[in-house]
Amino acid sequence: MILGLAIVLSLSVSALLLHWQDKPARDALVILFQGAFGSWHALEDCTIKAVPIFLCSLGVAVAFRLQVWNIGAEGQFAMGAIGATWVVLQFPQWPAFLLLPAMMAAAALGGGFCGLIPALLKVRLRANEIIVSLMLNYVCILFLEYLVYGPWKDPVSFGFPMTMVFPPAAIVGAIGSSRLNWGLVLALACAVGFWIFFRFSRLGYELKVCGESPRVAGYARLPYHGLVIAVMVTGGALAGWAGFLEVSATLNRLQPSIMVGYGYTAIVVAWLARLSPASIAAASLLLAGLRVGVENLQLEMQVPAAFGGIMEGVLLLTVLAGGFFVRYRVRWRGFS
Amino acid sequence: MRKGCLLLGMIFLVWMVGAGGAGAADEALKVGFIYVSPVGDAGWSYAHEQARLAVEALEGVRTAFVEDVREGPDSERVMRNMARKGYDLIFATSYGYMDSMLKVAGEFPDTVFMHCSGYKLAPNMGNYFGRIYQARYLSGMAAGAMTRGGQIGYVAAFPIPEVIRGINAFTIGVRAVNPKATVRVVWTKTWYDPATEKEAAKSLLDVGCDVIAQHQDSPGPQEAAQERGAYSVGYNTDMSAFAPRAHLTAAVWNWAPFYLEVVESVRNGTWKSTAAWPGMEKGIVGLAPFGPMVPESVKTRIEQEKARLINGETRVFAGPIKDQQGNLKIAAGETASDEALLGMTWLVEGVVGTTE
Amino acid sequence: MTAELLLPLLAAAVQTGTPILYATLGEILTERAGVLNLGVEGIMMVGALAAYVTALATGHAGLGFAAGAGCGALLAAVHAQVCVGFRGNQVVSGLALTILGTGLANYLGTPYIGQSIPGFQRTALPLLDQIPILGPVFFRQDPLVYLSYLAPVFVWVALKRTTWGLNLRAAGEAPEAVTAAGLSFARLRWSAVVLGGLLMGCGGAYLSLAYTHLWSTGLVAGRGWIAVALVIFAFWHPGRAVLGAYLFGGVMAFQFRLQALGTHLPSSLLLMLPYLLTIFVLVAASVRRRGQAPPAALGVNHEPPD
């Protein structure tokens, strides 16, 4: 409801801006929509872009359930990519049935480790997890840069910062003749697992209780500290898988340009979606669609790339503001 | 409240439905450009954009660009969309687009793809670059003639062969007129961060350099030179507006003649997949006008050398050329091959700095 | 390294650190009131553009600076309204602000790229610049650097020596207590966020008016995020923010000078140090003293009892 209104409002603001620049606003929005969802190809592109956002976002959402603020998905994504790449560089001759699981494990370890640090510091030393996970983002990205500029640089890349191209065994393939890759299936499996976990498992229930009130959790003797560590490591592993898919399925090598802020987008998505897997998927698609659609808008109307940022920002701020009016609808009359 | 929202949504939908479809198909040749940074940056992408405008002005040609496209999946998607939309010719202007372009070129055999600064080819994909190092060599001569202390600073982006080649050519130019001068290199690991690049230039000025050259897209180093009363050599476009009292000259790109030629060849069906590496003779690279501080004698000498480069009497990388350790890399009487130039990872004698 | 090189290095550390210092102080003020503002990067971008455009149009760098600060405050007011007024999520609002601010500045700033303004120039302070060592490092800078020497003092006095500051810190530590004392919790947080945004806008303005004298996309280049990190390094203390900002500026300036002298260290690893140091400081302080913990209600929206 609110999301709908927010979309309309941000579209209106964008239309105004376009009109101001003497661009036909209405056609522009149609082009934007066509570019994002208007054809099978567009949907495919959107889905490909949405998968890493979705996985990171799922990871962030698990922690948010417990009211733990993991804003380190960006760094966990980087560490996942680094972990997967490490396996490829160490064992390039392994067959796919060994290599791919090993890459997934390494990615989960990398991302999970990156999630473990803020979790441990939080439960042991009461260090603020928002801050530690944010700091780790910088460290992990710089570490990735160090690796691709230094020891992992491909000797035949003309000195450009990138690793060698992965052997075919290390590449997650496409589904049939489409451009979608099996990463989509991984993402869906994670989503189903997430849903079942929170719907049916005891631990999932405990998480929800703890998230709603740590004090109640204390009375019920729920292992709050253990849960914090568990959600942060799980979240890190999911973001790590997103990093693994990005290097293995879409880029086929590690290079710094994989860091495009999916980890931050994921926070926005997790929050927009109110933490349920189906709506996380929808919100990931929406934001991916906005970014893909803006490219189409650039191509057809030469609207600057920065335009997408404005739309996204207005959209989010409207949703944030709108949430208030939903929660406090009773008071609405009092304001006017 | 809820009703109000619904109503608003409805009005909006109705308004949207009334919109016409996107541009009708026509017979014009459609040319697409993909840039790695926003076009307004006065640097690399801006130089390409100037050439796109020249192409746009042609009769029967329509162009469009997408800016700020990340290397990797994003660039692949943009190329594929352009090809799907019936673009006949697509220029991608960053090294990192190479593998994506090769992939997409395989899927769209009827579209011509042109990749800038890489080395891979396909039946419908060519690559191109310009011998900017020739212009750098000439600008190095200006710097070598104008330095007082014999130390020249060079603010460089990333240690890749393209940049290293530029530093070497510049240094050879400097030492052609001033054999004792040295060139100090600082790597910023940025292409476009004006504040950082200015800081890097200041660090060079602090250690005694009195001319600053750059392989960066921002005019930050130019400003730094002007503030300290030093001289500067620009890159990409004429940067004299940013530092009129410092700007000696600049190694500039002029892509328009090359792009027009490619567009014409695609239009009349004579296009072939080649690795094009034109130089000064085609006008793709050149020198910006000299600043008023450059004496006539220096100008004349550089103009003469330019003429000799154009008619092939002289080459920039002609032996004997030694590396930093004093090992002979190019023997007397030999010139470096294009392969050697494309993969250049060593610095010539006279450069202070590393390639890490 | 000789004194001849050391003094310019220190002076460069001060100049490089100044935009980060302004932004860090702004974030400290904001976070002390319990509001996390991750929109620093976006606010600095808008501040830089507003300052530049105003200076270009009016020819007065001072007016430009005021405009940069004002627009920073304006954008921060959006954050304040969303987080404090509408009790929206602070992390999301901050990220949205970064996206929006960067987008707006790049979109509106396109026509201004490639022009240069005189802006603020280096002017030595008479007498003070004659002091050995301190003079060349601190007093041969531009006016905005001098102003930035006053900013931490201002923030410190405001936080520690005024009733407003006391209440503000209470809003960051124990919101219930503020409400119980009959104070307007919302107004306190509002004022902190807006004032903080003003300082962040100053940081942006410094980049376009004094540091480079030009506008370009990506002018801020991650300095806003560095400021967010430095707040933690500084442990929410304005004095330590000065140290942190200059240290960070110093690392940048130092690694360039090392290169210029012909030596080399991997810069990625060098640039990692401040962040690792920050985590270390955070951990060490958490172990040692509870009193130095971050504001207890940081990032938490207070729901007034109905």
Q: Are B98 and B156 part of one and the same domain?
A: no
Name the CA dihedral angle for A168, A171, A176, A177, rounded to a multiple of 10 degrees: -70
Taking only residues 247 to 266 of chain C, the set having a beta carbon closer than 8 angstroms to any beta carbon of chain B reads 252-253, 256-257, 259-262, 264, 266
How does the average pLDDT of chain A come out, rounded? 85
> Which of A69, A309, A327 is facing C299, going by the closest CB pair?
A69
Burial of C281 (0-12, 13-18, 19+ CB in 10 A): middle
Give the pLDDT band of residue B14 (cuts 50, 70, 90).
Answer: low
- Residue from B291, B338, B288, B346 nearest B321 by CA: B346
> Which of B38, B209, B219 is facing C214, going by the closest CB pair?
B219
List chain B residues with CB under 8 Å of C264: 353-354, 356
- What φ, ψ does residue B39 adopt, rounded to 5°? -70, -20
CB C17 within 8 A of CB C207: no
Reduce the DSSP state of residue B153 to 3 states and report it: strand
pLDDT digits (tens, 9 = 90+) for B63-74: 999 988 888 888
Q: Mutate which of C44, C142, C211, C216 to test chain B, going by most B C-beta atoms within 10 A? A: C216
C-beta atoms of A321 and C298 within 8 A: no
Lowest mean pLDDT across B8-12, B178-182, B346-350: B8-12
**CATH number for the domain including B317?**
3.40.50.2300
**Helix spans in A246-261 (H):** none
Q: Are B124 and B144 part of one and the same domain?
A: no
**Helix spans in B94-191 (H):** 98-107, 132-146, 161-177
Taking only residues 109 to 138 of chain A, the set having a beta carbon closer than 8 angstroms to any beta carbon of chain C reads 121, 125-128, 130-132, 134-136, 138
Q: Are B66 and B111 part of one and the same domain?
A: yes
Residue A330 reports pLDDT greater than 60: no
Q: Are B152 and B85 part of one and the same domain?
A: no
Q: Is residue B265 part of a domain?
A: no
List chain A residues with CB under 8 Å of B73: 48-49, 246, 250-251
Chains that touch B (3 or more CB pairs under 8 A): A, C
Q: Are B88 and B169 part of one and the same domain?
A: no
Q: What is the mean pLDDT of residues B120-129?
A: 94
Q: Are B55 and B203 part of one and the same domain?
A: no
Q: Are B121 and B138 part of one and the same domain?
A: no
Q: Is residue B12 part of a domain?
A: no
Residue B60 touches chain A, beta carbons under 8 Å: no
Residue B266 reports pLDDT greater than 90: yes
C-beta atoms of C89 and A310 within 8 A: no
Give the pLDDT band of residue B7 (cuts 50, 70, 90).
Answer: low
Total domains present in chain C: 1
C-beta atoms of C91 and A309 within 8 A: no
Return the number of CB contacts < 8 Å for A and B: 115
Residue C80 touches chain B, beta carbons under 8 Å: no
Residue A329 reports pLDDT greater than 60: no
C-beta atoms of A309 and C293 within 8 A: no
**Closest chain B residue to the Cα of A246, Cα to Cα:** B73
pLDDT digits (tens, 9 = 90+) for B108-117: 999 999 999 8
Residue found by looking up tokens 């304001």 in the block? A335
Q: Is residue C299 part of a domain?
A: no
Q: Which of B104, B128, B152 is the last residue of a domain?
A: B128
Residue C127 touches chain B, beta carbons under 8 Å: no
Residue B22 reports pLDDT greater than 50: no
Comparison of pLDDT for B31 and A37, the residue scoring more = B31
Please give the pLDDT value at position C99.
Answer: 92
Residue A182 touches chain C, beta carbons under 8 Å: no
Q: Is residue B140 part of a domain?
A: yes
**CATH number for the domain including C126?**
1.10.3470
Lowest mean pLDDT across A242-246, B104-108, C277-281: C277-281
Q: Which of B94, B128, B162 is the last residue of a domain?
A: B128
**Closest chain C residue to the Cα of A306, Cα to Cα:** C103
Residue B106 reports pLDDT greater than 70: yes
CB B85 within 8 A of CB B107: no
Q: Is residue B81 part of a domain?
A: yes
Residue C35 touches chain B, beta carbons under 8 Å: no
**Mean pLDDT comparison of A212-216, A286-290, B68-72, C43-47, highest-scoring range:** C43-47
For chain A, give the percent of residues with pLDDT over 90: 32
- ipTM beyond cut 0.90: no
Lowest mean pLDDT across B16-30, B151-165, B300-314: B16-30
> Which of A138, A317, A327 is facing C82, going by the closest CB pair?
A317
**Helix spans in A258-305 (H):** 262-272, 277-301
Please give the pLDDT value at position C230.
Answer: 87
Please give the pLDDT value at position C110.
Answer: 83
> Which of C93, C268, C283 is facing A125, going by the closest CB pair?
C283
Please give the pLDDT value at position C218.
Answer: 81
Residue B20 reports pLDDT greater than 60: no
- What φ, ψ does residue A305 adopt, rounded to 5°? -60, -30
What is the secondary structure of A207-233 as a DSSP string?
A: HHHHHH-HHHHHHTT--HHHHHHHHHH
pLDDT digits (tens, 9 = 90+) for A256-272: 888 888 998 898 888 88
Question: What order do you get walking across the sheet with B151-156 strand by strand?
Answer: B285-287, B247-253, B231-236, B211-215, B151-156, B182-187, B351-352
pLDDT digits (tens, 9 = 90+) for C12-55: 999 999 999 999 999 999 999 999 999 999 999 999 999 999 99
Q: Are B173 and B109 part of one and the same domain?
A: no
Give the pLDDT band of residue A23 (cuts 50, 70, 90).
Answer: confident
Q: Is residue B41 part of a domain?
A: yes
How does the average pLDDT of chain B come out, rounded? 89
Q: Are B69 and B137 part of one and the same domain?
A: no
Q: What is the mean pLDDT of residues B144-156?
A: 95
Give the pLDDT band of residue B354 (cuts 50, 70, 90).
Answer: confident
Question: Residues in chain C with pLDDT < 70?
Answer: 1-2, 264, 266-268, 270-271, 274, 286, 288-293, 301-306
Q: Are B112 and B249 part of one and the same domain?
A: no
Q: Is residue B263 part of a domain?
A: no
C-beta atoms of B203 and C213 within 8 A: no
Domain that holds residue C90: 3-292
Residue C138 touches chain B, beta carbons under 8 Å: no
Give the pLDDT band of residue B50 (cuts 50, 70, 90).
Answer: very high
Residue A312 reports pLDDT greater than 90: no
**Closest chain A residue to the Cα of B117, Cα to Cα:** A158
Please give the pLDDT value at position C11.
Answer: 92
Calculate how close chain B gets to C248, using CA atoms only, in Å. Answer: 13
Q: Are B336 and B247 part of one and the same domain?
A: yes
Total domains present in chain B: 2
Q: Which of B97, B128, B159 is the last residue of a domain?
A: B128
C-beta atoms of C294 and A128 within 8 A: yes
Domain that holds residue B59: 29-128
C-beta atoms of B64 and A302 within 8 A: yes
**Closest chain B residue to the Cα of A258, Cα to Cα:** B72
Residue A285 reports pLDDT greater than 60: yes
Please give the pLDDT value at position B64.
Answer: 93
Q: Is residue B152 part of a domain?
A: yes
DSSP letter, residue B30: E
Q: Mutate which of A160, A165, A307, A310 to test chain B, going by most B C-beta atoms within 10 A? A: A160
Please give the pLDDT value at position B24.
Answer: 45
For chain A, give the percent of residues with pLDDT over 70: 95
Give the pLDDT band of residue A200 (cuts 50, 70, 90).
Answer: confident
> Which of B64, B66, B95 is facing A160, going by the closest CB pair?
B95
Q: Are B146 and B245 part of one and the same domain?
A: yes
